Chain A
Amino acid sequence: MKKTKQFIYYIILLLICLVGVVPAVSALSKTQEAGISDHCETIKDNLKTIQKSDARARVYLGGRFETILNKYVTPLNVRLVENSMSTASLIESQNTLTSNKTKFTNDYVGYQQKLEELVAMDCKNEPASFYEKLKLVREERKKVEKDVQKMKTALSEYVELVGKLKERLNAESK
């Protein structure tokens, strides 16, 4: 009875080990490893081009976010306060937009740092660790993409709020 129990424990232990080991082993096949080593320079060139186009995207989007915050959101809230109108929801919206923009910038910096580390790696001799790093970079990129989506959602909510304010002014002027 005791031996059967022990046997079951061993089987469970073996299964746990297999579950842990299999994905790590199958993450990169020999063909892929060879492919990375052989095309190391091309892959690096592609990564450098991505770096450059990402910088362009960041400047474009970051600039637009900055313009909206500084030329629209903040001045409107200041003017509403001056006009003694209720601004609670718009101030909350301003805070959301500001924190989203900061998160976008910070996540972008984190992503670029990882991407730079990846470009500096020796993919010719260490294809496996290069691929592991690439997976990390992909995760970081996903974060930035999510931040842009969040910012877009926050902006459309803001446009909606401003629309309501316009309706209120319309009603008051009648």
Chain B
Amino acid sequence: MQNQNSSEKKKLERGGRNLVLLGIVSVLIALMTTGVSLAIYHNSGDIYLDRSRPGFLPDEEEIEDENEKEEEKEYDFARDGKLTREDMEEFIKNLKEETKAIDEYKKPFGEEVLSDERLGIPVEEKSAEEPAEVPMEEQL
């Protein structure tokens, strides 16, 4: 009777230990897979294309503008059917709107943004002067 009791007690203790082990192993596996996913996310460069990360979220105004634009145009060119002159006219009209929107974007990735002056690094000729500390928000 006493033997039976002690073996049951041992079983219970072993079960508890196994449960703790299971918890630890699960947490370790979760940490490992999260680490691997983050490494892939970073090394593949997807992190730089993602604007949902902290510090890169779109401003409220930007979201409103995008919503307005989406409401404005819902053009879809059908992949089938006879191709007519009218279809092409509408196609070109909408396509030109898209290209115009690209052209209207002022100097994307212009090199002057990273110039010494804009960053606040003293320029050789003006070495005696203090560099202008203009916040970048005002310049962009």
A interface, CB within 8 angstroms of B: 29, 31-32, 35-36, 39, 42-43, 45-62, 64-65, 67-68, 71-72, 75-76, 78-80, 82-83, 85, 105-106, 108-110, 112-113, 116, 131, 134, 137-138, 141-142, 144-145, 148, 151-152, 155-156, 159, 162-163, 165-166, 169-170, 173
Q: Is the CB of A79 within 8 A of B79?
A: yes
B56: contacting residue among A43, A55, A67, A109, CB under 8 A: A55
Chain B residues with Cβ below 8 Å from A166 are: 85, 88-89, 92
Would you call A134 and B56 a contact (CB within 8 A)?
Answer: no
Interface presence of B71 (CB below 8 A): no
A106 to chain B, nearest CB (A): 8
Q: Is the CB of A72 within 8 A of B94?
A: yes
Chain B residues with Cβ below 8 Å from A173 are 84-85
Decide: B99 and A43 in contact? CB cutoff 8 A. no
B133 contacts chain A at the CB level, 8 A cutoff: yes
| Segment touching A, from B17-25, B33-41, B101-109 | B101-109
Which residues 49-88 of B have a CB within 8 angstroms of A? 49, 51, 55-56, 58, 62, 75-85, 88
CB pair B83–A134 under 8 Å, yes or no, is: no
Q: Is there a chain A Cβ closer than 8 Å to B114's Cβ?
A: yes
C-alpha gap A57/B88 in the complex (Å): 30
* Interface membership of B9, Cβ < 8 A: no
Q: Is the CB of B95 within 8 A of A43?
A: no
Contact of B102 among A55, A61, A113, A138 (CB under 8 A): A61
Contact A79 B101 (CB under 8 A): no
Which residues of B sit under 8 angstroms from A159, Cβ to Cβ? 92, 95-96, 99
Complex interface: chain A residues within 8 A of B81 (CB): 79, 82
Residues on A with beta carbons closer than 8 Å to the beta carbon of B118: 46
Are the C-beta atoms of B109 and A162 separated by less than 8 Å?
no
Contact among A42, A68, A76 with B120 in the assembled complex (CB-CB below 8 Å):
A42
Docked Cα-Cα span, A127 to B93, in Å, equals 52
Which A residues touch B82, using CB under 8 A? 83
* Chain B residues near A53 (CB-CB < 8 A): 136, 140
